[in-house]
């Protein structure tokens, strides 16, 4: 099958490249820079993309390929760090830290095989180093307004370099640039979403064999897709457990149980552990510590339940790629850690099970398409993302039952208003956050001193970047009125207008 390899030099956006290629109809595979020439040739790729990364090519221990580009004859595209590595490997000069460009910038395109001539084009830059002198057989085909070389290409071979990121939505025409590269690779663009399930199914069969699987249901879409997929592939080998941590949304456990018992005809085992989680979280304020505690307790609960069963070999969970990339490098490389996710960085080092994470290379929209393919109801598949640690990371400060109760009720009102006004399916994510502060208000001519709820509504394609949703003022007023009038203990509602980056979508 036709394949494009993506070398991961540690970029936060590496899997975005893979996602864009899949959307364009091309199968892609992310590989580490340690891949050997023999390993690369055995995969028979039609093209190679070198990702960005946080390192500097001027460092002695900077990541690099184990072979030279002279050893291969397929088209190669270097992005950001990947372009700088190409420059240095062919004898050019990369200067360190003299032309920093971070965020949206303008570039002037002078031509080139992948670029359309344009007076000015908007792109996303994220670099400190830059190419100062190109190798002899390369020419610059675009410059930033600061004069930095923004794109280059080999005069004879299909070798290209971009100092900006074509894989992100901030870059104007970025998808078209990638498409032109794939055309140069002679792809037929015949990769389909159904192929993703076929690949995952084969990987799971190879990994699991005849072993028994304990599947962890969190209440969200991701873990539900994993559960349905595993039950479809291994109907007699899967036991589905849902730990009621006491950190779920209003009526979530009941809805989940009804879905699996009525729609898919296989029951899930609900483990009541809310008191355990609240006890361990008592007095804990630091969000990283919250996530670590929740991850540890999840494993302890599943260990306890597994002892009641026989021969459990695997623990399956719904880890997605954004969870992985924020917690640690996808391939053990130098990408920066943003925060631990309870099902990634929050798990203890020694596990009594082997992990099964079939979705860890996918983004949310791909998982949703998988859910629809497997028969999950539309309204469930398109629910907004919910964090694995649950409401614990939406209560800022100590997690207490009184705060959780207020948060559940406030969030339920938010979702009701969004659905009634037609905004729910326009958003990527929406939720309430309980703030550990109080403010003065007035109700019925009486002074109040009560808690504050923050509302977060964002647009996004994949969770890697996001921007605030411009809800109409009348909708915001309706949300505030419903929460303050109907949720006891709240007298003020605020709206979060931060984008990602610099903020993350969740507050913790």
Give the residue numbers annotated as catalytic, written as ranges: 80, 165, 167
Pairing verdict, β 490-495 and 118-127:
unpaired
Within a 13 Å sphere around the CA of 162, how many CA atoms are in the beta-carbon half? 27
H, E, C per residue of 111-179: CCCCCCCEEEEEEEEEECCEEEECCCCEEEEEEECCCCEEEEEECCCCEEEECECCCCCCCCCHHHHHH
Q: Which DSSP state fits 248?
A: S
> Nearest to residue 277, comparing CAs of 351, 340, 218?
218
> Nearest to residue 346, comparing CAs of 291, 421, 285?
291
- b/e string for 268-301 if b means 16 or more Cβ within 10 A? bebbebbebbbebbeebeebeebbbbbbebbbeb
């Amino acid at each position: 099958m036709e394949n494009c390899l993506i070398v991961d030099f540690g970029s936060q956006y590496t899997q975005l490249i893979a996602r864009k290629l899949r959307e364009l109809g091309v199968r892609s595979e992310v590989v580490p820079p340690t891949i050997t020439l023999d390993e690369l040739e055995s995969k028979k790729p039609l093209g190679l993309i070198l990702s960005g990364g946080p390192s500097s090519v001027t460092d002695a221990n900077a990541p690099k390929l184990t072979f030279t580009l002279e050893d291969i004859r397929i088209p190669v595209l270097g992005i950001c760090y990947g372009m700088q590595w190409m420059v240095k490997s062919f004898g050019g000069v990369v200067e360190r830290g003299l032309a920093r460009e971070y965020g949206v910038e303008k570039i002037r395109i002078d031509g080139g095989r992948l670029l359309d001539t344009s007076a000015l084009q908007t792109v996303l830059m994220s670099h400190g180093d830059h190419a100062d002198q190109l190798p002899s057989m390369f020419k610059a085909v675009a410059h930033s307004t600061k004069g930095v070389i923004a794109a280059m290409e080999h005069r004879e071979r299909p070798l290209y370099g971009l100092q900006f990121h074509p894989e992100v939505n901030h870059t104007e025409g970025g998808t078209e640039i990638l498409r032109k590269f794939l055309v140069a690779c002679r792809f037929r663009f015949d990769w389909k979403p159904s192929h993703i399930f076929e690949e995952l199914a084969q990987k799971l069969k190879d990994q699991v064999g005849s072993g028994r699987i304990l599947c962890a249901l969190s209440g969200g879409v991701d873990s539900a897709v994993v559960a349905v997929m595993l039950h479809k592939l291994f109907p007699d080998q899967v036991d589905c457990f849902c730990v009621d941590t006491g950190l779920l949304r209003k009526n979530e456990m009941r809805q989940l149980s009804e879905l699996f018992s009525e729609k898919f005809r296989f029951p899930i085992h609900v483990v009541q552990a809310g008191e355990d989680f609240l006890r361990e979280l008592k007095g804990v304020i630091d969000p990283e510590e919250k996530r670590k505690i929740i991850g540890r307790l999840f494993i302890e609960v599943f260990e306890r339940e597994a002892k009641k069963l026989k021969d459990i070999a695997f623990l399956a969970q719904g880890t997605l790629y954004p969870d992985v990339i924020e917690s640690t490098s996808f391939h053990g490389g130098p990408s920066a850690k943003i925060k631990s996710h309870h099902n990634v960085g929050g798990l203890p080092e020694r596990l009594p099970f082997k992990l099964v994470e079939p979705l860890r290379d996918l983004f949310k929209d791909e998982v949703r398409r998988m859910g629809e393919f497997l028969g999950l109801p539309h309204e469930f598949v398109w629910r907004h993302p919910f964090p694995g640690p649950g409401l614990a990371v939406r209560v800022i400060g100590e997690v207490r039952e009184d705060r959780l109760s207020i948060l559940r009720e406030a969030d339920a009102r938010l979702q009701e208003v969004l659905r009634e006004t037609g905004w729910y399916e326009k958003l990527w994510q929406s939720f309430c956050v309980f703030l550990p502060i109080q403010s003065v208000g007035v109700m019925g001519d009486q002074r109040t001193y009560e808690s504050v709820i923050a509302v977060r509504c964002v647009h996004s394609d994949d969770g890697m970047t996001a921007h605030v949703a411009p809800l109409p003022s009348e909708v915001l007023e309706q949300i505030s009125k419903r929460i303050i009038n109907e949720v006891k203990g709240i007298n003020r509602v605020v709206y979060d207008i931060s984008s990602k980056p610099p903020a993350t979508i969740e507050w913790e």
